[in-house]
Amino acid sequence: MALLTDFDTLHQTYYPKVLKLCLGYTGDYAQAQDLAQETFVKVWQNLAKFKGESLVSTWLYRIAVNTCLNHLRTARHRPTDALQTHHSEQIAEETGELDQQINLLYKCISQLAETDRLIISLVLEDTPYTEIAQIAGISDGNLRVKIHRIKQQLTDIYHRYGRL
Amino acid sequence: MDDFENLKRVWQQQTIRPADFTSAELKKTNDGHQRKLERTQLMSAIALLLTPVGIIWIGFFSGITFQSSLTYGAVILIALIPAVQGIINLSTYNWLRRIDITAPIAEHLSQWQRYYAFRKRMIRFNGPIYFLLLNGAFALYFIEILGYFSWLGRVVVLIPYVAWMLYAYFVLGKRNLQKETERLEAIIGNLQTLQRQLDAPES
């Protein structure tokens, strides 16, 4: 029964973060919802195997990121205009200005390379670098340089839209 | 990096609605790409491993007696070949089961790359070899069985059998093989692209 509570807690705590990660990756709200749902199905299926060797957040983000990347096996996703519509639908209370900024941010993220999208989504979520390195399976040093480049790229793209 | 901090503020100000599916609903779901692949391999393995049971029964326990030991040998081969294929499919199923969704990205991508490279080798060699061996076994079986038929009977049995096998191998089989190879190459290409993105030494 404790396991059930754990899963429910994980689901409640991490669903918004996972959905944002999937949104950053796909640029499409409906697809992001599907991927978030698939992520939590896998979390449920693998929860018994979680040995506590890493933080539960690291473990869960690995599942989310791998689920997103596995999605590429059948199709290569490109930024879509659908994001504008779908994403707007799920914004609950933001002002019109913030809504526009969020949509634009997602549009910019979707122009990055696939793995870069996932890494930067984790950075935007304030995930510690050491944890991101553990999620990705790359060295801290390589990750730091990578993040620096992705940040630069993202702000450049955002600048091109004349928003900053 | 003030600009980036602004972007981070925007990102963190989002309000995400709670999930429109409950955790109870999720637990009933047993789907996903990997699960479908696993199920396909498991089902075909079970079917192939059960096939020999029926064939051995027909050949040795049903009361049918053959004159030639070659025919009994053929029956054993007809039973054995699907059984071996079933074991191969079972090992493919186990391979899939070992792919760890909770592994670090780089490792997980490698696991899928190895699996798809293995699948590519399998469809290139395993399919044709299975087809040839099984038909070879049937050819041995037909030597005695067709002896009981008239010429017309032989023609009626053999022509549709040979025609179907040639069509299945050279038309359907080749077409599927090409399609499957292209699909696997595209998947492997995607995985390699992701791996390169991740491994790229940053300057």
Q: Which residue is listed with tokens 């809504």? A: A99
pLDDT in tens, chain A (164 residues): 444 448 888 988 899 999 999 999 988 888 899 899 999 999 988 998 888 888 999 999 999 999 999 886 655 444 333 344 444 444 444 457 788 888 889 989 988 999 999 999 999 999 999 999 999 999 999 999 999 999 999 999 998 886 55
Residues of B in contact with A40 (CB under 8 A): 19, 23, 26
Residue A101 included in any domain: yes
- Could you tell me the pTM of the whole model? 0.81
Which phi and psi (to 5°) does residue B193 adopt? -60, -45
Residue A88 included in any domain: no
CA distance B184 to chain A (A): 9
Say if residue A155 is in the same domain as residue A122: yes
pLDDT of residue A93: 45
Say if residue A4 is in the same domain as residue A64: yes
pLDDT of residue B30: 59
Asked if A114 lies within 8 A of B197 by C-beta distance, the reply is: yes
Residue A91 included in any domain: no
Q: How many domains, in total, are found in chain A?
A: 2
Say if residue A152 is in the same domain as residue A100: yes
Residue A85 included in any domain: no
Give the residue numbers spanning the domain of A130: 96-163
Say if residue A113 is in the same domain as residue A153: yes
Please give, one letter per residue, the 3-state secondary structure of chain A: CHHHHHHHHHHHHHHHHHHHHHHHHHCCHHHHHHHHHHHHHHHHHHHHHCCCCCCHHHHHHHHHHHHHHHHHHCCCCCCCCHHHHHHHHHCCCCCHHHHHHHHHHHHHHCCCCHHHHHHHHHHHCCCCHHHHHHHHCCCHHHHHHHHHHHHHHHHHHHHHCCCC
Say if residue A19 is in the same domain as residue A74: yes
Say if residue A30 is in the same domain as residue A67: yes
Say if residue A64 is in the same domain as residue A109: no
User: Is residue B192's pLDDT more than 90?
Assistant: no
For A91, nearest residue in chain B (alpha carbons): B15
Say if residue A53 is in the same domain as residue A1: yes
Residue B16 included in any domain: no
Residue A159 included in any domain: yes
pLDDT of residue A86: 46
Report the C-alpha dihedral over residues A61, A65, A70, A74, rounded to 10 degrees: 140
CATH number of the domain where residue A100 is located: 1.10.10.10
Last residue of a domain, one of A50, A78, A106: A78
More confident residue, B198 or B52: B52
More confident residue, B3 or B159: B159
Residue B28 included in any domain: no
Contact (CB, 8 A) for A68 and A26: yes
Q: Report yes or no: A93 at the B interface, CB cutoff 8 Å.
A: yes
pLDDT of residue A127: 94
pLDDT of residue B55: 92
| Distance (Å, whole) CA B68 – CA B141 | 10
pLDDT of residue A4: 46
CA distance A66 to chain B (A): 6
Say if residue A106 is in the same domain as residue A151: yes
Q: Tell me the C-alpha to C-alpha distance, in Å, between residue B101 and each of A63, A113, B112.
A: 6, 21, 10
Residue B7 included in any domain: no
Asked if B19 lies within 8 A of A67 by C-beta distance, the reply is: no
Q: Report yes or no: A3 at the B interface, CB cutoff 8 Å.
A: no
Residue A89 included in any domain: no
Say if residue A70 is in the same domain as residue A28: yes
Residue A158 included in any domain: yes
Residue B119 included in any domain: yes
CATH number of the domain where residue A12 is located: 1.10.1740.10
Q: What is the amino acid identity at position B160?
A: P
Say if residue A23 is in the same domain as residue A61: yes
Asked if B13 lies within 8 A of A102 by C-beta distance, the reply is: yes
* Secondary structure (DSSP) of B103-129: S-HHHHHHHHHHHHHHHHHIIIIIHHH
Residue B9 included in any domain: no
Residue B163 included in any domain: yes
pLDDT of residue A134: 94
Residue B134 included in any domain: yes
> What's the Rg (C-alpha) of chain B?
26
- Chain pair A-B, CB pairs under 8 angstroms: 153
Q: What is the amino acid identity at position B52?
A: P
Last residue of a domain, one of A24, A52, A78: A78
Mean pLDDT, rounded, for B41-54:
93
| Distance (Å, whole) CA B170 – CA B162 | 12
Last residue of a domain, one of A27, A46, A78: A78
Q: How many domains, in total, are found in chain B?
A: 1
Give the residue numbers spanning the domain of B75: 33-196
Nearest CA-CA partner of A110 in A50, A36, A31: A31
Residue ranges in chain B assigned as alpha helix (H): 2-12, 23-28, 33-56, 69-98, 105-121, 127-145, 151-166, 174-199
pLDDT of residue A96: 78
pLDDT > 70: what percent of chain B? Answer: 93
